[in-house]
Amino acid sequence: MKNGMVYLVGAGPGDPKLITLRGLECIKKADVMVYDRLSSPRLLSYAKPGAELIYAGKSPVRHTLKQDEINSVLVEKAREGKTVTRLKGGDPFVFGRGGEEAEFLLAHNIPFEIVPGITSGIAVPAYAGIPVTHRDFNSTLAFITGNEDPAKEDTSIEWDKISTGCGTIVFYMGMSNLPHIVDRLITYGRPADTPVAVIRWGTRPEQQTVTGTLTDIVEKARAAKMGHPAIIVVGGVVSLREKLKWFEQRPLFGKRILVTRSRSQASVLAEKIESLGGEPWECPTIEITDPDDYKLLDAAVKNIESYHWLIFTSVNGVKYFMARMRYLGKDIRTLGNIKIAAIGPKTREEVEQYGIFCELMPEEFVAEAVIEALKDEEIRGKKILLPRADIARKVLPETLRSMGAEVDEVNAYKTVPGSGDTEQLIKMLEDERIHVITFTSSSTVRNFIKIIGSDNIPRLLGGVVTACIGPITADSARELGLNVDIEAREYTIDGLVQAVLDYFGGVN
């Protein structure tokens, strides 16, 4: 069997969007992915279905797999003819032991490729507002390992040279040795008032930065309970932080926000959260699929000219209805004499993309508002088509029938349980790493409760903020035992985001 290929990929410092395009390609095509603790778990969501995920889990204080075991796994999987992506925090060749892995692969005749990543020594200070070089402060920069055993008699770090010979010094993995690092720098001539920054979990919502000088940074870091993983920056450039810090200034900084809507729609909400400094965590609790059969919808489409009103309650309803029109060869002009109503501006916008304008869009984006608006219309004896989800509420068709209309309620699409990583979700809730949960429909609430179990609500959601897109979703959440902290006044994604901002005192 021909040997497979191994990609040694730098995953960047933590923010998943700092992965390179080439790195993302390698993740997507991997049969096997061997990943580190410092690789963002969100990157794993790009793995293809069925890919084998192996956690290497290395940290300064504990190794799930030792380095020789990792080397052996890479060779073993490649010899099975598989494409292997070794996902490493930062850059594989900057204190990442990527060189050792490449040598081992070469010795066993396994082809490999190195995919550089953004190293944390540059990116983490940047997210803390510290440029590692600046013409007013330094013209030299050094990257140094910070986890060398201070008890070693023969150190590989030439403290007498680097202490005064480098303008900015960046230490990786140095928290345990911070007192020793400070002592060596001062002993070998670095002024005690030199600015220092310690940055933990840089580029992530948990990012924490402590600044001081060589004189007091140990005490300040200890008081702030700083631990691994952390970057230590020494030099005058640290003084620029107060002026240039930007990441922590964003209104949703520090908030990891769960997005439960379907994967095909999640990106809109996720992008808005990210632009405001939050970290969206996508775990779709629902997916939108074709209905079990199109018989009723097709019959309605074929006889579309017989209807007086066409009411769309969601963007999905519009998309699936129009797709069926196209499939059955029905010209859009056959809708010319039909009045169209839409619930919500996004649904109306979706309709208008087809060159059609809505006669009716109520100010409140719920079914009850459509009913209220139609009271001014003469709908008795009129024929109304309502293409929507299989699990939609019955209040709209039932009330319209009571008003004398003939209503054909047809399934245009189906809502099924989502494909999110439920094990990872529960683990993150247990670790208190989710700060806000967003719900955009009653079905997202119901399926979320199915995932975690209603008995686990107090244990897993005690400190989590719950945000709902509107009153119907909020009522469903309360009925299922959730506390609703945020309810959007405008029942749209923009309204939901604004409500979250308002709750945390942000400004948009």
**Tokens matching residue 243:** 């002026």
Which of 5, 15, 31, 36 is labelled catalytic?
Answer: 36
CA distance 120 to 337: 62
Nearest alpha carbon to residue 85 among 104, 70, 100: 70
For residue 173, what are the CA distances in angstroms to 226, 229, 301, 386?
A: 12, 6, 64, 60
Chain CA centroid to CA 193, Å: 40
**Tokens matching residue 305:** 């000219």
Contact 8, 71 (CB under 8 A): no
Which of 33, 173, 175, 325 is labelled catalytic?
Answer: 173
CA distance 201 to 208: 7
Residue 173 annotated in active site: yes
> Other C-beta atoms within 10 Å of 381: how many?
9
Peptide bond into 229 cis (omega under 30): yes
**What sign has the CA pseudo-torsion 390, 392, 393, 398?**
negative
Contact 172, 121 (CB under 8 A): yes
Helix (H, G, I), strand (E, B) or coil at 371: helix
CA distance 401 to 383: 10
Residue 58 annotated in active site: yes
Residue 36 annotated in active site: yes
Which of 33, 58, 88, 255 is labelled catalytic?
Answer: 58
What one-character-per-residue DSSP string does 411-447 give? EEEEEEE----HHHHHHHHHTT---EEEE-SHHHHHH
CA distance 181 to 158: 12
**What sign has the CA pseudo-torsion 416, 418, 419, 422?**
negative
Rg (CA), the chain: 28
Chain CA centroid to CA 435, Å: 13
Active-site residues, by number, are: 36, 58, 173
